[in-house]
Amino acid sequence: MSTDFDPKEFPVGIIGLGLMGSSIAACMLMAGHPVTGVELVPGALEDGAKRVKDHFKLALKKGLIQGEASDYLKDFSASVDLSDLKHCSLVIESIKEDKILKGEVFQILDGIVSEETLITTNTSAIPISELQQFVSHPDRFFGLHWMEPAYTTRFLEVICGAESDLEKAQFLYDLGELWQKETVLVKKDLPGFIANRLMYAMYREAMHLVEEDYASVEDVDRACRNVAGYFLPMMGVFRWMDFTGIASYRKVMKDLFPTLNNDAAPGKVINDIVDAGGKGIANGRGFYTYTEEEVAIWKDLYSEFSYEIRELTQKYPADIVQRKLDEKKESIPPERKNQS
């Protein structure tokens, strides 16, 4: 499968226009795809369509898109009927994290779209191998795991299930470039995929440090911001160890690994918050407490930050060194190239 095509000829369907689905729809529209968004929650269609439009207002304000928002939104339609996705070449499901509910949707969708349509799920944790059993052609079924907001962040995981076709997976991987992503290909299905496994290992250790009174929530957050927050966006894990000395890391690992938290269940800190009804910024009660005004400011700041960090990651892409080397080669005069 080749990605050498006009995105206008590759329509995309989005199932679910909530927080994540609406920003995925915006990402697809910005890449040039016609998009049909289907909202299955009764009474939620108008709000879902408004979210998509609001993303474009902000993107225009931040200079992420050229022209007018209407130039993109003319290719967007919203519906409550899955049959309106019958023309789509790619469908991305982004509904409630419920295996049974997702399965019911996929079974209906399977009877609507063509045998060539790629069907994907934005699940964060449900095994792809289990979800692909709900369709008649599991080889065309994949996970597409995004990070919010999908049209500014560079992250995208393409996850294969046990029966997924690797050639089709590579096609989705290559499409990520059109969507301005540094795509990750997960060749074998595993719980949490790559990003969540890395993040939840950190969440577990962070909560352990607080529960055992080694540090406060505030200080653990400061440590994350001012250590990993500086090098991870540019180098990742393995290149950072290369950059700073592998041998020393192995030595520390021998001493530190046996002392790290290995609990198999959520700890007291998060259990107490959730059991007491805490939902984070949704109701102002989480690891921190928030007023309504503080919540609004945090949301605005994160939106602003997501645009700024996007510019920084685009300035320092994963292949930046190769790009610099290529630039040097191109700057060499022809006569010097012939001499070498």
pLDDT tens for each residue of 273-308: 999 999 999 999 999 999 999 999 999 999 899 889
Digitized pLDDT (tens) for each residue of the chain, 340 residues in all: 767 889 999 999 999 999 999 999 999 999 999 999 999 999 999 999 999 999 999 999 888 998 899 999 999 999 999 999 999 999 999 999 999 999 999 999 999 999 999 999 999 989 999 999 999 999 999 999 999 999 999 999 999 999 999 999 999 999 999 999 999 999 999 999 999 999 999 999 999 999 999 999 999 999 999 999 999 999 999 999 999 999 999 999 999 999 999 999 999 999 999 999 999 999 999 999 999 999 999 999 998 998 899 899 889 998 999 999 999 888 877 666 666 5
Phi and psi of 33, rounded to 5°? -80, 140
* Residue 332 located in a structural domain: no
* Residue 49 located in a structural domain: yes
Q: Beta partners for 93?
A: 15, 121
Place of tokens 């304000």: 61
**Claim to verify: residue 78 and residue 136 sit in the same structural domain:** yes
**Claim to verify: residue 304 and residue 263 sit in the same structural domain:** yes
pLDDT the model gives residue 336: 65
Residue type, 118: L
**Claim to verify: residue 136 and residue 226 sit in the same structural domain:** no
**Claim to verify: residue 167 and residue 261 sit in the same structural domain:** no
* Residue 206 located in a structural domain: yes
**Claim to verify: residue 30 and residue 147 sit in the same structural domain:** yes
Helix %, strand %, coil % for the chain, to 5? 55, 10, 35
Residues 2/44, Cβ–Cβ less than 8 Å: no
Which of 186, 219, 251 is the endpoint of a domain? 186
Tokens of 60: 């225009």
pLDDT the model gives residue 272: 98
* Residue 328 located in a structural domain: no
User: For residue 222, how many other CB atoms are within 10 A of its CB?
Assistant: 13
Residues 118/13, Cβ–Cβ less than 8 Å: no
Which of 159, 186, 213 is the endpoint of a domain? 186
Q: Measure the CA–CA gap between 63 and 246, rounded to whole angstroms.
A: 41
pLDDT the model gives residue 45: 96
**Claim to verify: residue 206 and residue 177 sit in the same structural domain:** no
* Residue 191 located in a structural domain: no
Which of 164, 186, 208 is the endpoint of a domain? 186
Q: Beta partners for 90?
A: 12, 118
The residues, any chain, with a CB within 8 Å of residue 69's CB and separated by 6 or more, are 53, 56, 57, 59, 60
**Claim to verify: residue 215 and residue 299 sit in the same structural domain:** yes
**Claim to verify: residue 263 and residue 209 sit in the same structural domain:** yes
**Claim to verify: residue 161 and residue 201 sit in the same structural domain:** no
**Claim to verify: residue 209 and residue 91 sit in the same structural domain:** no
pLDDT the model gives residue 280: 98
Containing structural domain, residue 298: 196-317
Q: What is the CATH number of the domain that holds 180?
A: 3.40.50.720
* Residue 336 located in a structural domain: no
**Claim to verify: residue 174 and residue 227 sit in the same structural domain:** no
Q: Measure the CA–CA gap between 66 and 72, rounded to whole angstroms.
A: 10
**Claim to verify: residue 142 and residue 232 sit in the same structural domain:** no
**Residue 294, Ramachandran bin (φ over 0: left; ψ between -120 and 50: alpha; else beta):** alpha
Tally the domains of the chain: 2
For 1-64, the three-class secondary structure string (H helix, E strand, C coil) is CCCCCCHHHCCEEEECCCHHHHHHHHHHHHCCCCEEEECCCCCCHHHHHHHHHHHHHHHHHCCC
* Residue 2 located in a structural domain: no
Contacts 24+ apart (CB under 8 A), 321-327: none
* Residue 324 located in a structural domain: no
pTM equals: 0.87
pLDDT the model gives residue 3: 73
Question: How remote is the C-alpha of 254 from its chain's centroid?
Answer: 33
Q: What is the CATH number of the domain that holds 295?
A: 1.10.1040.10
Q: What is the pLDDT of residues 116-146, one digit of tens each?
A: 999 999 999 899 999 999 999 999 999 999 9
pLDDT the model gives residue 4: 80
Query: Running DSSP on this structure, what letter comes out for residue 317?
Result: -
